[in-house]
Amino acid sequence: MEKFKVLDTSGDVGIKAFGKSIDEAFINAATGMYSLITNLDAIKEKKQLMYQ
């Protein structure tokens, strides 16, 4: 399943996010927005933190 799509419009940019739940869609939207400012392939996980 596609997580997000970057939408290019004249003078602007948008994100269309997808998910099986609203939570997953918001996570994918955040990932899509972050992909606009950095190369996601260059990011390596060093440590995983769990929040409640």
- Tell me how far apart the alpha carbons of residues 18 and 12 are, in angstroms, rounded to a whole number: 20
49 occurs within a structural domain: no
Element (H, E) at 34: helix 22-35
31 occurs within a structural domain: yes
Residue 11's pLDDT band (cuts 50, 70, 90): confident
13 occurs within a structural domain: yes
pTM of the model: 0.74
**More confident position, 9 or 27:** 27
pLDDT for position 1:
85
Domain limits at 38? 4-42
Helix then strand then coil, % of the chain, to nearest 5: 35, 25, 45
Eight-state DSSP code of residue 48: -
How many domains in the chain? 1
pLDDT for position 7:
94
For 32, phi then psi, to 5°, come to -65, -45
Interval 15-51: pLDDT, tens = 999 999 999 999 999 999 999 999 999 989 899 999 9
Nearest to 15 by CA among 41, 23, 27: 27
